[in-house]
Amino acid sequence: MNRMSIAAVAALLLTAIGLGTLYWFQHRAPVTSERAAPPVAEAPSAPAPAASEPAIRYPVDPTLAGSAPAAGGGDTQSQWRQALVELLGQSAVVRFVYTEDFAHRFVATVDNLARPHAPPRLWPVQPTSGRFSVTGNGELRNIASENAMRYSPFVNMVAAIDARRAATIYAQMYPQLQRAYEQLGYPGRYFNDRVVEVIDHLLQTPEPPAAGPLMQLTEIKGSVPSTQPWLRYEFADTDLQSLSSGQRILLRVGPAHRATLKAKLRDFRAVLAQAPGGR
């Protein structure tokens, strides 16, 4: 039976808990309930074409898929919808997930988590509800503690996922993901290698000071004051602000959630980076 991949779980939950916050920081309009149109396939902003096909570093174990048919054809949207419903439940899928063109959305978002920007129109999930808030006075502010509460349902969900079971799901859905990755602009590249690379990148997210990273408003030129200042906050530390979109996500969710997510990412990596027969 075709189900959602372990890598999709990681990206889905990271984008669900974090990209909603990233949305506010990219000066976008407030989220509406209207579904986004399926994105048009396009290459990343700076693809790196290879002179020759590289060797696969982390092959997906084909035996993990068992006797289930490869998810390589048919109604792919229905396959993903069924997979997501089986994993997350019908209500969660309706509320949070864009099932249209899910493989492309997911692959593009995973790739972008290690880049400076993750375009909202390519997200596989709707942004986190609620409004980003800060505390304190003056130019530098602290992230309000209640922000972490917005992410708790998703962090709890990812913490409960069994990595070994999800690995079987990943192998079943992998053909769709590999094809979407090649269509994104990486012919001859292996998507599972990129997933492991992005996980390693996220695990290198630095820890901010114990009091949390300080935030500041970006300067907007013009005489009309902003009516939505929460859209304009960025990290005051330029080193933190220059981190990738995925690393900035992990900084914003708070230390407890960050520790939980990093622990689960390590579990994911242990399975995804395992060579066939190495179990």
pLDDT for the residue numbered 67? 54
Run of H or E residues at 74:
none
Backbone conformation region of residue 141, classed left if phi is above 0, alpha if psi is from -120 to 50, else beta? beta
What is the average pLDDT value for the chain, to the nearest integer? 74
By residue count, the chain amounts to 279
Work out the widest C-alpha separation in the chain, in whole angstroms: 65
Give, rounded to a whole angstrom, the gap between the first and last alpha carbons of the chain. 22
- Residue 81 pLDDT > 60: yes
pLDDT for the residue numbered 195? 93
- Proportion of the chain above pLDDT 70, given as a percent: 65
More confident: 237 or 127: 237
pLDDT for the residue numbered 37? 41
- Residue 234 pLDDT > 80: yes
Which residues fall within 8 angstroms of residue 41, CB to CB, at 6 or more apart? 104, 183, 184
Quick one: how far is CA 74 from the chain centroid? 26
- Residue 115 pLDDT > 90: yes
Residue 246 and residue 202 in contact, taking contact as beta carbons nearer than 8 Å: yes
Q: Tell me: the pLDDT tens digits for 24-67? A: 333 333 333 333 344 444 445 555 555 456 689 998 877 766 65
Count of CB atoms within 10 A of residue 239's CB? 8
DSSP one-letter code for 143:
E
For the record, the structure tokens of 173 come out as 């859905």
Burial of 162 (0-12, 13-18, 19+ CB in 10 A): exposed
Q: Which of 266, 262, 232, 237 is nearest to 249 (CA)?
A: 262
pTM, full prediction: 0.76
Residue 168 and residue 83 in contact, taking contact as beta carbons nearer than 8 Å: no
- Proportion of the chain above pLDDT 90, given as a percent: 27
Where residue 16 falls among pLDDT bands split at 50, 70, 90? very low
Count of CB atoms within 10 A of residue 187's CB? 12
Mean pLDDT of 205-218: 89
Q: Which of helix, strand or coil describes residue 28?
A: coil
